[in-house]
């Protein structure tokens, strides 16, 4: 029946059972035949041929009895041996079955252990992969930020260059220049910081990938091992693909212990976890850096703009004052010119009275003899000429003074006009060139994604 078959196959799988009685130890019966050589023996030749080597009856009985006894003990021994063999076979089968079940349970436990570490490694690989992607996005933000600093830097240096074209006395190292220099230095420092952080991000991404690779190699070894142990777990006595491998029992020198085996994956995961944490911290740091530099740039940009606005206001105010003075000077010049013309006219006007007085004196010098009298009329005429001469002198002196004054006014007018031109130039540089250029600044900061 099937039971017998299973037993037979179980026995077969065990190899031959040891025999109860070794074959070489079976007793060999040696029969000594007693020869008749007594005094009663027949010595006839004919008889002798019949009598030679024959057994006596009691010997015959003895021989049979011995054989029966031998057969009986043989059967008894065989039966006992059979029972022992059967018991041994059953015990061997049970032992084999129990050992196989234990092995199966141990393999099952081992599969669970492998699965646990495999899952842990897989989670770590996925975490590191996601983390590296997030860090790559942060690195891109840093690169964009670094590119975006170029525009503010160009603007600030261009502002400084433009302001070199101011004319004296406006070519001064003022508050605006100080703020612009501060701005260029700030941007240079920011660029250095961004470059350093970019290198750091690159290094961290490399470390993340290295540790991910270590975990992936560990994971793939675990997958392979899991498949091997899973295959082993599926073997049964009925499997067709099993065979003898006597040498496989030998102990491998380089094999790991369960402790070192578990420690290997634990250490890999621990190190990967450390890198993941470092990566998370670096991302937070990058966030802070981008936020801080955006704040610093925004504040410095505002400080520069404020200095510009204040300076332009001062320039406007000064220019207005200068223009006011110029207006007054021009009015004064007009009045002075009119004054000079009036003085010249006054001098001219004295010519006729002088001629009259002098002609009178000249004509009266022709009076004859005693008539040439130093009378009152002569004294009065002489005094008139003196008065007129004095009057003309003072007018001429006044005229010279007025002309000098006009020249002074003209000089002042020129200076004022020159100064107004200088101020106009300064205002043009600061407002039209510098401040207009700076409007691109804040736009760039927004676009660069600092905020």
Q: pLDDT-based confidence at 387, cuts 50/70/90?
A: very high
Buried b (16+ CB within 10 A) or exposed e, 150-169: ebbbebbeebbebbeebeee
Give the pLDDT confidence of 328-375 residue by residue, as tens digits: 999 999 999 999 999 999 999 999 999 999 999 999 999 999 998 889
SS3 content of the chain, % helix, strand, coil (to 5): 85, 0, 15
Tokens standing for 76? 């008894």
The full set of domain ranges for the chain reads: 104-236+256-308, 326-366+373-446
Which runs of consecutive H residues, i.e. helices, occur in 235-257? Answer: none
Q: pLDDT-based confidence at 132, cuts 50/70/90?
A: very high
Residues above pLDDT 70, as percent of the chain: 86
Which runs of consecutive H residues, i.e. helices, occur in 22-56? Answer: 45-51
The CATH architecture that domain 104-236+256-308 belongs to is: Up-down Bundle (1.20)
Looking at the predicted structure, is the pLDDT value of residue 155 above 60?
yes
pLDDT computed for residue 450 by the predictor: 52
pLDDT computed for residue 11 by the predictor: 47
Give the pLDDT confidence of 46-76 residue by residue, as tens digits: 555 555 567 787 877 788 888 888 888 888 8
Give the pLDDT confidence of 163-207 residue by residue, as tens digits: 998 888 888 888 999 999 999 999 999 999 999 999 999 999 999
Distances in whole angstroms, Cα of residue 231 to Cα of each of 104, 107, 241, 246: 11, 10, 11, 19
- The verdict on pTM exceeding 0.85 is no
C-alpha to C-alpha distance for 84 and 107, rounded to whole angstroms: 34
C-alpha to C-alpha distance for 152 and 144, rounded to whole angstroms: 14
pLDDT computed for residue 62 by the predictor: 84
Looking at the predicted structure, is the pLDDT value of residue 78 above 70?
yes
Burial of 304 (0-12, 13-18, 19+ CB in 10 A): buried
Q: What average pLDDT does the segment 239-259 reach?
A: 84
Give the pLDDT confidence of 24-54 residue by residue, as tens digits: 555 555 555 555 555 555 555 555 555 556 7
Compute how many other C-beta atoms are within 10 angstroms of the C-beta atom of residue 262: 14
């Amino acid at each position: 029946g099937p039971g017998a078959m299973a037993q037979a196959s179980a026995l077969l799988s065990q190899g031959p059972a040891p025999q109860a009685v070794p074959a070489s130890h079976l007793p060999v019966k040696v029969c000594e035949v007693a020869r008749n050589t007594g005094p009663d023996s027949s010595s006839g030749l004919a008889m002798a041929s019949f009598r030679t080597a024959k057994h006596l009856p009691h010997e015959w009985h003895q021989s049979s009895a011995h054989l029966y006894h031998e057969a009986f003990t043989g059967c008894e021994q065989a039966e006992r041996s059979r029972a022992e063999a059967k018991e041994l076979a059953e015990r061997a089968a049970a032992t084999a079955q129990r050992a196989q079940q234990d092995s199966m349970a141990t393999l099952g436990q081992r599969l669970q252990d492998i699965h646990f570490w495999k899952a842990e490694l897989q989670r770590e690989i996925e975490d590191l992969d996601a983390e590296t992607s997030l860090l790559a996005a942060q690195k891109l933000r840093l690169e964009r930020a670094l590119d975006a600093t170029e525009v503010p830097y160009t603007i600030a240096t261009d502002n400084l260059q433009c302001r070199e074209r101011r004319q004296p006395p406006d070519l001064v190292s003022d508050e605006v220049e100080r703020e612009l220099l501060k701005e260029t230095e700030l941007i240079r420092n920011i660029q250095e910081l961004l470059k350093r952080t970019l290198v750091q991000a690159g290094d961290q991404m490399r470390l993340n990938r290295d540790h991910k690779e270590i975990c992936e190699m560990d994971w793939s070894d675990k997958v392979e091992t899991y498949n091997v142990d899973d295959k082993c777990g599926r073997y049964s006595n009925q499997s067709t693909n099993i065979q003898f491998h006597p040498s496989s029992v030998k102990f491998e020198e380089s094999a790991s212990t369960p402790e070192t085996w578990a420690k290997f994956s634990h250490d890999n995961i621990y190190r990967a976890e450390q890198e993941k944490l470092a990566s998370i911290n670096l991302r937070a740091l990058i966030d802070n850096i981008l936020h801080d530099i955006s704040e610093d740039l925004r504040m410095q940009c505002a400080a520069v703009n404020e200095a510009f606005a204040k300076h332009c206001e001062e320039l406007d105010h000064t220019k207005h004052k200068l223009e006011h003075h110029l207006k007054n000077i021009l009015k004064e010049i007009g009045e002075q010119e009119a004054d000079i013309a009036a003085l010249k006219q006054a001098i001219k006007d004295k010519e006729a009275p002088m001629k009259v007085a002098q002609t009178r004196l000249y004509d009266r010098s022709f009076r004859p003899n005693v008539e040439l009298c130093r009378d009152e009329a002569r004294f009065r005429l002489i005094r008139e000429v003196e008065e007129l001469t004095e009057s003309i002198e003072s007018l001429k002196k006044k005229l010279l003074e007025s002309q000098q004054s006009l020249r002074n006014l003209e000089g002042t007018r020129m200076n004022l006009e020159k100064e107004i031109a200088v101020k106009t130039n300064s205002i043009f540089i600061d407002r039209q060139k510098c401040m207009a250029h700076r409007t691109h600044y804040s736009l760039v900061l927004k676009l660069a994604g600092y905020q």
